[in-house]
C-alpha cells in the first residue's frame, strides 16, 4: 500500500501516535509523516505510506500555513499554554494598530532561536529530552522566512493570527517574540496547521474517518525519486 493521507491531527496526541494508528488501521509497517505537530496542535499532518515515505524530505521542505492564538500577559517555560508560568504581568489592553505594526516587523527572513521543547539535537540528545530533565543549553539562531502574517481576531488578552512560513518555523517562539517586542510576556495558546504545501485542512480527514479510498497516489508528487 503506497500513497499519501492527509490527516487532521487532533489535540492531545503526538504525531507518532498518528503514525501508529495508521499502521494498525491499514496493517502496514512503512508509515511516516512530513513534519511534526506538537501534541497541543491540530491540523494538517501529511502521512506517507509505503514507497511514498521516500518523499518525506520533499514535503518537509514545503512552506506551511498556521492559524495561531497568542495570549498576552503570561510567558511559560514551554512557550505554550501547557508549560509552567515563568512570568506574569497585569497589563492594559494593547492597541491593535501597535500589534499590527509589531507583526510586520517579523515578515521576511528573520533569525529565530529554537525552543528547548524541540526535536533538534544537542550532542546526540533531543532538546526536549534535556528540557524534561531540567537542563537548558545555548541554541544557535536559525534563519526562517515568514511570507505572510495577518491578524484574524483580537479579544484582549488573546490574539488570533494567520502565518505562512518556511519549514523550521517555531510558532510558539514567534508568539513569545511578538509579545517581547511589545514589552509584555506572552505565549502560544492554540495552533492549527491549515496547510502544508499543497495539502489543505479542508481536504484532510479525521483519524477515525480515514479509509483506503482516501489514499492519494504519490506519483504526481514524485519530484525527486
Positions marked catalytic? 38
Q: Grid coordinates in use for 164?
A: 505562512
Contacts 24+ apart (CB under 8 A), 29-35: 32/56, 34/58, 34/59, 34/60, 34/62, 34/196, 35/59, 35/60, 35/64, 35/167, 35/196
Sequence length of the chain is: 225
Write out the DSSP string of 60-83: HTS-EEEEEEEEETEEETTSBTTS
Q: Grid coordinates in use for 123?
A: 550532542
ω into residue 219 within 30 of 0, thus cis?
no
Amino acid at each position: 500500500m503506497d500513497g499519501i493521507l492527509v490527516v487532521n491531527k487532533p489535540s492531545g496526541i503526538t504525531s507518532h501516535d498518528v503514525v501508529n494508528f495508521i499502521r494498525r488501521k491499514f496493517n502496514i509497517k512503512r508509515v511516516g509523516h512530513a513534519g511534526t505537530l506538537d501534541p497541543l496542535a491540530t491540523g494538517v499532518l501529511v502521512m506517507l505510506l509505503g514507497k511514498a515515505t521516500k518523499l518525506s524530505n520533499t514535503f518537509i521542505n514545503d512552506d506551511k500555513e498556521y492559524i495561531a492564538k497568542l495570549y498576552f500577559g503570561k510567558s511559560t517555560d514551554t512557550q505554550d499554554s501547557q508549560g509552567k508560568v515563568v512570568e506574569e504581568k497585569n497589563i492594559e489592553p494593547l492597541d491593535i494598530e501597535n500589534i499590527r505594526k509589531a507583526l510586520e516587523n517579523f515578515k521576511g527572513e528573520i533569525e529565530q532561536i529554537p525552543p528547548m521543547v524541540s526535536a533538534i539535537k544537542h550532542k546526540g540528545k533531543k532538546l526536549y529530552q534535556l528540557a524534561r530533565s531540567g537542563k537548558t543549553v545555548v541554541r544557535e539562531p536559525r534563519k526562517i522566512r515568514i511570507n505572510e502574517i495577518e491578524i484574524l481576531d483580537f479579544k484582549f488578552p488573546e490574539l488570533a493570527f494567520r502565518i505562512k512560513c518556511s519549514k523550521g518555523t517555531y510558532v510558539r517562539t514567534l508568539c513569545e517574540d511578538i509579545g517581547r517586542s511589545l514589552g509584555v510576556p506572552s505565549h502560544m495558546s492554540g495552533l492549527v496547521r491549515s496547510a502544508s504545501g499543497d495539502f489543505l485542512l479542508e481536504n484532510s480527514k479525521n483519524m477515525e474517518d480515514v479509509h483506503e479510498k482516501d489514499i492519494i497516489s504519490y506519483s504526481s508528487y514524485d519530484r525527486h525519486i
